[in-house]
Amino acid sequence: MEAYAARHHVPIINEQGRRAFLQVIEEAKPHRVLEIGTAIGYSALLMAQHGAEDVQITTLELSEERARLAESFWERSPYKERINLHLGDAGELLQGLPRPEGGFDFVFIDAAKGQYVDYFQKIQPLLAEKAVILADNVLFRGYVLGQEKPPRRFKTIVKRLQQYLQLVQETPGYSTKILVNGDGLAVTYKGLISEAGFGFEKT
């Protein structure tokens, strides 16, 4: 999968981000995962492997080609019964998605970077009382919280990721830490006690 992703420029969770990603999964040991942005199914497999024993993953992907590839990879793994893919635009799919019993206790946001705010709002009714929301690429090449001005073509993405970080920071009942590994992971806790309302870490 890693070779395919490299050859075809599929942005799967990268080597620097992977260790931090796995630490978050291992710590949360989620039972009901929602993933927004499947790509070729790499992160879904990692979550199936490192989640709770009974983990079930619902994952959303826009590209039919990538969705089929993901399914063919899962087919060859011991986890195919644990993963359920929905094909389509995540913004639309989220509105019709049934809430599993107890709600999702883990959400991995990794699709259109301009839509994270929309995703965060739409997942609210689907969440468990205690949940972790992990968002990938939130530092976007260092431009989101950095001093350097982003090139024109990235301006909107950077602005929207800044809005996402602002939103998770300000929403009551949530606390967030940012892992600066890889392209930046925002770990947002709902209904869990955490020491800092907002902070940075490198694992």
Return the H-helix or E-strand segment holding 127.
strand 127-136
Binding segment for Mg ion (CB under 5 A), chosen from 64-72, 81-89, 106-114, 140-148, is: 106-114
Q: Which does 63 bind (CB under 5 to 8 A by kind): ligand SAH, Mg ion, none?
A: ligand SAH
Q: What is residue 174's three-state secondary structure?
A: strand
Sign of CA pseudo-dihedral 8, 9, 15, 17: negative
Interface pick for ligand SAH out of 33, 55, 111, 128 (rule CB under 6 A): 111
Interface pick for ligand SAH out of 20, 57, 90, 123 (rule CB under 6 A): 90
Q: What is residue 143's three-state secondary structure?
A: coil
Interface pick for ligand SAH out of 2, 4, 11, 121 (rule CB under 6 A): 11
Contact between 39 and ligand SAH by CB under 6 A: the answer reads yes
Residues linked to residue 179 through DSSP beta bridges, in sequence order? 185, 201
Residue with tokens 């395919």: 4
Q: What is the 3-state secondary structure (H, E, C) of 33-92?
A: EEEECCCCCHHHHHHHHHCCCCCEEEEEECCHHHHHHHHHHHHCCCCHHHEEEEECCHHH
Residue 42 or 79 having the CB closest to ligand SAH: 42
Q: What is residue 96's three-state secondary structure?
A: helix
Contact between 183 and ligand SAH by CB under 6 A: the answer reads no
Contact between 13 and ligand SAH by CB under 6 A: the answer reads yes
Contact between 60 and ligand SAH by CB under 6 A: the answer reads yes
Contact between 181 and ligand SAH by CB under 6 A: the answer reads no
By CB under 6 A, the count of residues binding ligand SAH is 18
Residue 128 or 133 having the CB closest to Mg ion: 133
Provide the binding-site residues for Mg ion, judged by CB under 5 A: 110, 136-137
